[in-house]
Amino acid sequence: MYDIRFIPPQEIRSIIPLVQSLNGLDEKILLQRLEVMMQSNYQCIGVYDTSASLSTSKEKLVAICGIWTLTKFYIGKHLEPDNVVVHPDYRNKGIGELMMAWVENYAKEQNCDAIELNAYVENTKGLEFWKKIGFYVRGHHFQKLVK
């Protein structure tokens, strides 16, 4: 059984291991960035395996999805999922689809016009996932490091 809900600010550091598995950045850097993100409109949902609590007396955080609410000229008010990660032991079990259905319902509740995200071009499985659940490629995401 899975429960999807916002991760409260006092528990937000629990996302770091999953975020780190996605991008491999140092924990200290991730914690510093998370602190700054929390001062903005960043929120994060978690998918919890509630059956894990039967044997350990604690739910297990098995997936996360950061959420930003933004407004841009070309798309209007939208949600941006960020750092969408499912623990490797829980992949291919429909958790990603379940989590993104939750995000889509939340976007509708917030009167958003769309959901927009960035995906790494080398993440071929991720790209397949996004297309499978109805996302399409609209453009390119460019970066230029300045440090």
What would the pLDDT profile of 89-144 be if each residue is shown by its tens digit? 999 999 999 999 999 999 999 999 999 999 989 989 999 999 999 999 998 889 99
79-102 confidence digits (pLDDT tens)? 999 999 999 999 999 999 999 999
In the predicted structure, residue 53 carries a pLDDT above the cut 80: no
C-alpha to C-alpha distance for 94 and 34, rounded to whole angstroms: 27
Number of Cβ atoms within 10 Å of the Cβ of 126: 16
| Among 85, 95, 94, CA closest to 16 | 85
**146 pLDDT higher than 70:** yes
Q: Quick check: helix, strand or coil at residue 74?
A: coil
For residue 42, count other CB atoms closer than 10 A to its CB: 16
Read off the pTM. 0.92
Asked whether the predicted pLDDT for residue 52 surpasses 80, the reply is no
- Name which of 116, 143, 102 is nearest 4 in CA terms: 102
Query: Which residue, 109, 37, 114, is CA-closest to 79?
Result: 114
Enclosing H/E stretch for 85 = strand 76-86
Average pLDDT over residues 41-54: 88
Alpha helices in the chain (DSSP H): 16-23, 27-38, 52-56, 95-109, 124-132
Above 70 in pLDDT, residue 55? Answer: no
